[in-house]
Chains A and B, each alone.
Chain A
Amino acid sequence: MKFTWFNLMPWPHLPDDFRERHRSVWVDIPSRLFDPQEGHFVYNRYMDQLEYADEVGFDGIGVNEHHQNGYGIMPSPNLIAAGLARRTSRAAIAVIGNSLALYNPPIRVAEEFAMLDCISGGRLIAGFPVGTSMDTNYCYGQIPALTRDKYAEAHELVMRAWAEQEPFAFDGKYNQLRHVNCWPKPVQKPHPPIYIPGGGSIETWDFCLDHDYNYSYLSFTGYLRGKLLLDGYWDRVAKRGKDESPYRAAFAQTICVADTDEEAERLYSEHVSYFYNRCLHIYGGFADAPGYRTIKTIKHGAMSNMMEDMQQVFPTLTWKNLVDEGYIIAGSPATVRERMEHLIKGLRVGHVFCLLHVGNMPDDKTRHSTRLFAEQVMPHLRNMWPEWKDDDRWWCKPMENRLHPEENLQSARAHGKAPR
């Protein structure tokens, strides 16, 4: 099993009456709610936490891309990843990812990911989301019905740019480039492992299977609801005659660990509530621009996930609802362990993106939960897939002789990190 510590980077100062006063946390959230000076502290705290996750033994540290979003202040995950690459040298750096259709030209993604792979010594995991409708269509103005086509073309361009040894001309519908010559190139050959985060579009399954990419299901509704969708994915894997390595799939899960179940509620309940009540307050009209989802996906039952629907559910959820219905996995190390086993086996996943910072959780609690998970949960879950233990097709392959720049930091010495 591989565990990646993921920080969505929520803005932790949304007011108590946010739901009542504003229609959406995303797209048209009032920018006056962002305080840049406070942003200085928030960004640095979140980056410190990602580095801490590396220290305590998480396999990966993860970042993602959102725009105009109160629960994700990371329009450029590559900037954060670059910082992390210089302050860690062990964990994979999972950028999940860059929304290909938004980069003009998308060769930019090939270049920046190659830089990250070089700086980190081959630790990059490269995510290529189509992107949510909120980010892609409403914030970044892409035409909904053409978004997937543009994404597919951008994907082709990036992969070719990494693979080709000579400059080439690319005559695309959305990108015409006479001289494509990706310089630099990634360390990992033929390319870094590729993850495709999906929210439920069935076309994405085939895309992952066509290219043998990892399918990462990212949702905030937890593993019990996630099962329905991942069962569909595994059916598709079987139909396509692919092997059933659990490492083909990843799942994102909100997790809170404390010494006891009661302590978990006492410590984390208000922060989880902040996340579900304020951070997920998304205007229904922004959930799904007409044309963004294919008719096939809508018919497949995406309606049950309709944001407008969930909007009515989230505010009514109590801690008990959230735990019992699996939105979050929370409790003592023993409880969390048991639930995680259920998640891992039930969804058949080899990768978990652990959302251990939740909503407006302060630093000490985040580290407490993170450390308990690393020390008392993770070791027991390592060998959940013994028959696939050598399957590293979806993990990074770092250079043996890579540098450890973080050990040169004075602050590292001050914190007693032993130089190598």
Chain B
Amino acid sequence: MNARTIETRRGCKVRVFEAGQGVPLVFLHGAGGLFAENPFLEKLAQRYRVFAPELPGYGESTGEEQLEDMLDFTLHGFDVIDALGIEKPHLVGHSMGGMIAAEMACVAPHDVSKLVLVAPAGIWIPENPIPDLFSFLPHEFAQMLFHDRALGEQLLTGGLDLRNMEALVEFYIGNARRLGMAGKILFPIPNRRLSKRLYRLRAQTLLVWGAQDRLIPPLYATRWREHLPQAQLEEIEAAGHMVPYEQPEAFVAAISRFIG
């Protein structure tokens, strides 16, 4: 995919990966950010014009100090769309990105085409609290996020050996920067009262969930559908929270069926 850096009107510098032709589709990544390889984006780019911006604080995007709360994050999403010069894209948001995408669709319901929420954050069920990802030790992420733990370790560290002190420091700094940013809308509880705004959401919506998601378990899909009765649900087998990375083909197939 090609990468370029755009500047939003607010003044954030955002690196955007892009590829493909056709109707615009914007992918919003989760709290961990994009990985070095994102095969599902390339597959999506065979059908759509795909844009994958990195949130400030992630990768090479900067200006994180300008985004402090949910409204900032939400408007930043539209600022990026404006800076890309596209209109009314399909939005696909994963985890934290799903939370942001849903907020965008509530705040400006006429500015979003179809909406795909992949194991989205943003709702909290007191009887089924989501594990506190902000207190995970480095070696715990893989087992919490992936159905296939070994694959998870490989993807999360990008091949770094965390027993090596330098690699650990590198991981630590990246993690502090990314999750420090994510914490502004996810800490200490990933609930910024989105559910009271969901009545505004008009976009046709698909929920995609990994059947073995241990971070935000599939029962959360049920709660989402109570708020969005028209939403479809696709549960994907042999996938944890990182469903786009674990089952890219099934993931892209589900989106293609939904968007067309």
Interface residues of A, Cβ cutoff 8 Å to B: 137-138, 141, 143-146, 283-286, 288-293, 295, 298-299, 303, 308
Q: Mask for B151-186, Cβ within 8 A of A = 1, else 0?
A: 000000000000001001100110111111111100
Residue pair B184, A146 in contact (C-beta under 8 Å): yes
The answer for the CA separation of A144 and B189 in the assembled complex, in Å, is: 12
Q: Provide the residues of chain A in CB contact with B183, threshold 8 Å.
A: 143-145, 289-291
Residue pair A303, B169 in contact (C-beta under 8 Å): yes
Can you list 13 contacts pairing A with B, beta carbon distance less than 8 Å?
A137-B134, A137-B187, A138-B188, A143-B183, A143-B188, A286-B135, A289-B134, A289-B187, A290-B178, A291-B176, A291-B180, A295-B177, A303-B168
User: Does B137 lie at the interface of the complex (its beta carbon under 8 Å from any beta carbon of A)?
Assistant: yes
The answer for the CA separation of A372 and B26 in the assembled complex, in Å, is: 71
The answer for the CA separation of A144 and B134 in the assembled complex, in Å, is: 10
Q: Provide the residues of chain B in CB contact with A290, threshold 8 Å.
A: 134, 175-180, 182-183
User: Does B136 lie at the interface of the complex (its beta carbon under 8 Å from any beta carbon of A)?
Assistant: yes
Q: Provide the residues of chain A in CB contact with B135, threshold 8 Å.
A: 138, 283, 285-286, 289
Residue pair B172, A144 in contact (C-beta under 8 Å): no
Least distance between A330 CB and chain B CB atoms (Å): 32
User: Does B68 lie at the interface of the complex (its beta carbon under 8 Å from any beta carbon of A)?
Assistant: yes
Q: Provide the residues of chain B in CB contact with A286, threshold 8 Å.
A: 135
Residue pair A285, B180 in contact (C-beta under 8 Å): no
Q: Provide the residues of chain A in CB contact with B64, threshold 8 Å.
A: 145
Q: Provide the residues of chain A in CB contact with B169, threshold 8 Å.
A: 298, 303
Residue pair A143, B187 in contact (C-beta under 8 Å): yes
The answer for the CA separation of A284 and B139 in the assembled complex, in Å, is: 11
The answer for the CA separation of A295 and B180 in the assembled complex, in Å, is: 10
Interface centre among B64, B169, B189 (most CB of A within 10 A): B169
Q: Provide the residues of chain B in CB contact with A285, threshold 8 Å.
A: 135-137, 140
The residue in chain A whose Cβ has the minimal distance to the Cβ of B135 is: A285
The residue in chain B whose Cβ has the minimal distance to the Cβ of A134 is: B135
Contacts A144-B134, A144-B183, A291-B183; A137 near B176 (Cβ below 8 A): no
Q: Provide the residues of chain B in CB contact with A143, threshold 8 Å.
A: 183-184, 187-188
Residue pair B137, A284 in contact (C-beta under 8 Å): yes
Residue pair B188, A137 in contact (C-beta under 8 Å): yes
Q: Provide the residues of chain A in CB contact with B165, threshold 8 Å.
A: 303
Residue pair B137, A291 in contact (C-beta under 8 Å): no
Least distance between A298 CB and chain B CB atoms (Å): 6
Residue pair B176, A298 in contact (C-beta under 8 Å): yes
Residue pair B172, A146 in contact (C-beta under 8 Å): no
The answer for the CA separation of A293 and B180 in the assembled complex, in Å, is: 9
Q: Provide the residues of chain A in CB contact with B187, threshold 8 Å.
A: 137, 141, 143-144, 289, 291
The answer for the CA separation of A144 and B64 in the assembled complex, in Å, is: 14
Least distance between A391 CB and chain B CB atoms (Å): 38
Q: Provide the residues of chain B in CB contact with A138, threshold 8 Å.
A: 134-135, 188
User: With contacts A286-B135, A298-B169, A299-B173 known, what are 15 further pairs, Cβ within 8 A?
Assistant: A138-B134, A138-B135, A141-B189, A144-B134, A144-B180, A145-B184, A283-B135, A284-B137, A285-B136, A285-B137, A289-B134, A289-B135, A291-B177, A291-B183, A295-B173
